[in-house]
Amino acid sequence: MPRKTPQLSVKDLFENGQQYYLPHISIDNVIFGFHDNELKVLLLQWNENGRWCLPGGFVLKDEDIQDAAARVLKSRTSLSDIFLSQFHTFGSSKRKRRRHGIDKPKWLKADSWFMDRFITIGYWALVEFSKVIPKPDEFSMACQWCDIDKVPKLILDHNDILDQALVSLRRNLNEFPLGKDLLPTNFTMPELQRLYETVLNKKLDRRNFQKKILGLDILIKLQERKQGGAHKAPFLYKFDRTKYKKAMKSGLKSGLQ
């Protein structure tokens, strides 16, 4: 059951957040999108020092962690009912902002709960790029997509978290087909292939790829072709919702790799 975040000022949150949230525990979301044939991840830019980080948040005292992750996702993207996969919990004793003086706003007392050690639970989500309305949080001046190959140095261990999310995503490709959540409703086979190639970070054979994907029997080939591109117009496809669900239940026998 999703809950409402208390409406706190930034100062209140820093100084009294522990009244509402569990101390020492945070959520970090790695939100993947796909656009212009590039895999993207949603990042926030911290007000105080301009450094980048993953969208994150805290867990309300009577809130399930899965709901907390969904709440964070919704408040940064406007999206709900998105599948969130918990992939790892990061618990180095050195995970504290206190160690990185640059991260502390000057007006904040050094003993704020916010500066303390945090164990963070990592989730990733796949979202349709065009449906996202990026929205910064109270701490941030910007919330925007970043090409997966151009991610800057992030705060704390957020680069590690991102890397592990990608590893987890790749492992999961054997269990569900990619695309339904990352591509628009109608898409072409080359687009889907490039998505796979980006996530797996390797080239795939065009003909074998098509054979395999169609062999899963979860796509519907449309009559129309994608107009406007240079060169021969490719056919459009869309997912067959019914067959997709059925395939999910029984599990994919053989993954793309």
Q: How far apart are CA 60 and CA 65, in angstroms?
A: 9
Fill in the amino acid letter for 156.
L
Cβ contacts of 188 within 8 Å, gap of 6 or more = 226, 234, 235, 236, 237
Residue 9 interaction partner, one of a copy of itself, DNA, none, beta carbon < 5-8 Å per kind: none
- Is residue 89 close enough to count as binding a copy of itself by CB under 8 A? yes
| Contact partner, 92, from a copy of itself, DNA, none, Cβ < 5-8 Å per class | a copy of itself
Distance of alpha carbon 257 from its chain centroid, rounded?
22
* Residue 19 contacts a copy of itself per CB under 8 A: no
> Is residue 9 involved in binding a copy of itself (CB under 8 A)?
no
By CB under 8 A, tell whether 108 contacts a copy of itself: no
The span from the CA of 13 to the CA of 191, in Å, is 43
Could you give the string, one character per residue 24-43, with x where binding to a copy of itself holds by CB under 8 A and - elsewhere?
A: xx------------------
H-assigned helices in 144-222 = 158-172, 189-200, 206-215
Widest CA span in the chain: 64
The answer to the question of residue 64 lying near a copy of itself (CB under 8 A) is yes
Should residue 23 be labelled a site residue for a copy of itself when binding is judged by CB under 8 A?
A: yes
152 binds, among a copy of itself, DNA, none (CB under 5 to 8 A by kind): none
Q: Which residues contribute to the site for DNA (CB under 7 A)?
A: 188-190, 205-208, 210-212, 215, 225, 227-235, 253-254, 257
